Structure 1
Amino acid sequence: MARTYGVAMHTVAVLALDQVVPFDLATPIEIFTRTRLPGGRPAYRVRVCAPTPEVGAGAFTIRAEWGLEALADADTIILPGCADPTVPVPEDVLDALRKAAADGTRIASICAGAFVLAATGLLDGLRATTHWVAADLLARRHPEIEVDPDVLYVDNGQFLTSAGAAAGLDLCLHLIRSDHGSAVAADAARLSVMPLEREGGQAQFIVHDQPPAPRGSVLEPVLRWMTDHLDRDLTLSDIAARAGMSTRSVNRRFREQTGTTPLQWLHRERIRQAQYLLETTRHPVDRIAGQVGFGSPTAFRERFRRVVGTSPNAYRAAFQRREPGTLT
């Protein structure tokens, strides 16, 4: 029987195998433990588990509080990557993951954690991704999986996979939004200094003429200003002037730090704010279109459907918060 993912105190088990990648391990722990529901209640209970009391994590060793029994009690299992994805996965781990899947548990992998999930056979016949460096290896070792190296994550419903490094953040935010709506996910994204949804795939990160600037070092004030002025008819020149850069430079900085252009980022942020207003207010859709900077309600509806995959009214019906006892 499939589990219900939207309940409060959803249990997330993060599985640490030997030589786990510390970044992959820390990402879900940090994001899920900091996520709060309206009113401040924690949205998730996080348990770090391992097949042995201690596992290596590169420069240090970690001691996990939980064993594999935590997988049986989890609503979601996260599989971080390991330093060498070709190392065989212990059979007791594979058996525990297959049993959890049979019970309806959602399982998601970060980076090379896709190799662990692939080893269970649960991804056979499905589309999946991993870090672009390891994508060819995953495809060769598991030809029954359709490996897509160009996306940040793939959601197959019960089984999800993500690309490397920061894509694990994208995946976790996607899970939070699926569980609790965009408003809760947006709060979690802000705590992580991370956009709720990045446009484009990981192919844009394969080749760099030079390393990107540290996240938020230049653009954070500009992004905050843009978010505060979504209702204005902002142009590329306005954004460049606010950033104190030429239009060419601000375009380059956005590409480096957000993976998209200033105006594309602005459109996506407008849609995110529209999601929040649809969830938390009873404002008419046409009014919300104006509040987030769309001059035409028709243009708003078209872009909303293109980005979110559904209409504003359908989204509101699915995600609008209601007080206990109110009628739908």
Structure 2
Amino acid sequence: MRIAILAYDGISPFMLSTPLAVFGEPFVSNGHDVLICGQNGRVSATGGLFIETPHELKKAGEADIVILPGWRHADEPVAPEILAEIKAAGARGATVVGLCLGAFGLAEAGLLTGRRATTHWARIETFATRYPDIEVDPHAIFVDEGDILTSAGIASGLDCCLHLLARLSGKGEANRVARHLVLAPQRQGEQPQLVERPAPGSSAELRVAELLDGLVGDPTGVPSLDELADRAGMSRRSLTRHIRARTGDNLGGWLRRARVSRAQEMLLAGGGGLDQVAERCGFPDAKSLRTAFRAELGLTPMQWQARQRLG
């Protein structure tokens, strides 16, 4: 797969390195061809840096995937030559990705009309006001519309790129790259952008972190909140508060996501029929597994499997 990353004057080095870290590092042995395409042969970057770009923007016309990693400012129009490449990519059926404020470029190019999308929380109101024909999701860390993907802030760009890598090369490969990057591989697009995620420093936080790790390791059990509170040595109310602070959700919602994530890995690894996968992931039956997939991903397990590879 040929992947073009668009570089421009004033780009954040971190934003440019986000898709590079996922698709272009030497340890990513999946054969994807990554092209850095710049407005000029040398673009300026924040912090007084300059970056040599080996390809002209028009080279992006040969790519299967075109990524716009951010933009300088939400109130500054995206350069016409970049918009032209984005429009051309959409017209020929390429997958187009707008990371962070890069969503503004995709919107300006007309690719998001009637679609669901997101961007950085600090500019979400501007985005929604400027583009009323877009279904703006202010909470998701990234949104996958098939041939169009958008993400929230800088860190969630990594989640979006890992998600795209899972579609290209499988969830196992995406998890392997996430481990190299020392990232949690299980973040789903529907997670909220703004969640207090304290490092487990206090004794109570450590106990809750260990409890959640245990549930991820073996999601087949169905302990009640009272049982878990007893294990953690705290009240139901306190445990609920700690779980929401760490995960952005209640116990039931978080556990469903963890079970769906495990089922995704099993399905891609050929882990048996739906009934077997459901049992090993903590669902009562295949029907419950299908219901959870629809709730989390908007797809049935079979539909999700069919979308995991592009091209």
* TM-score band, normalised by shorter chain: 0.7 to 0.9
Q: Which residue of 1 aligns with 2:17?
A: 26
SS in 1 for 2:93: coil
1:118 to 2:117 alignment: no
- 1:1-328 equivalences under 5 Å are 10-33=1-24, 41-63=29-51, 64-191=53-180, 192-198=182-188, 200-202=190-192, 205=194, 212-214=197-199, 222-236=211-225, 247-281=236-270, 283-312=272-301, 318=306
Deviations 1:68-123 (A, max 9, x none): 13312221111122342222333222223222332222111011111222232333
CA distance in 2, matches of 1:287, 1:71: 44
> Cα–Cα, structure 1 residues 243 and 65, in superposed 2: closer, same or farther, change >3 Å?
farther
CA distance in 1, matches of 2:16, 2:164: 16
> Cα–Cα, structure 1 residues 138 and 41, in superposed 2: closer, same or farther, change >3 Å?
same
> Cα–Cα, structure 1 residues 302 and 116, in superposed 2: closer, same or farther, change >3 Å?
closer
> Cα–Cα, structure 1 residues 227 and 147, in superposed 2: closer, same or farther, change >3 Å?
closer
CA distance in 2, matches of 1:215, 1:22: 30
Unaligned stretches of 5+ residues in structure 1? 1-9, 322-328
> Cα–Cα, structure 1 residues 247 and 26, in superposed 2: closer, same or farther, change >3 Å?
farther
CA distance in 2, matches of 1:257, 1:18: 37
Q: How does the TM-score come out when normalised to structure 1?
A: 0.76
> Cα–Cα, structure 1 residues 142 and 275, in superposed 2: closer, same or farther, change >3 Å?
closer
CA distance in 2, matches of 1:142, 1:199: 21
Please report the RMSD computed on the Cα atoms of aligned residues, expressed in angstroms: 3.5
Runs of 4+ in 1 over 6 A off after TM superposition: 241-245
Quote how far apart the aligned CAs of 1:51 are: 0.5
> Cα–Cα, structure 1 residues 247 and 29, in superposed 2: closer, same or farther, change >3 Å?
farther
CA distance in 2, matches of 1:125, 1:29: 30
CA contact (8 A) 1:285 1:313 kept: no
Q: How does the TM-score come out when normalised to structure 2?
A: 0.79
CA contact (8 A) 2:7 2:16 kept: yes
**What is the aligned length?**
303
Deviations 1:201-239 (A, max 9, x none): 54x61xx7xx64259995765554332222333444565
Farther off after superposition, 70-79 or 259-268:
259-268
Unaligned stretches of 5+ residues in structure 2? none
Quote how far apart the aligned CAs of 1:258 are: 2.9
Letter in 2 for 1:177: A
CA distance in 1, matches of 2:94, 2:260: 31
SS in 1 for 2:2: strand
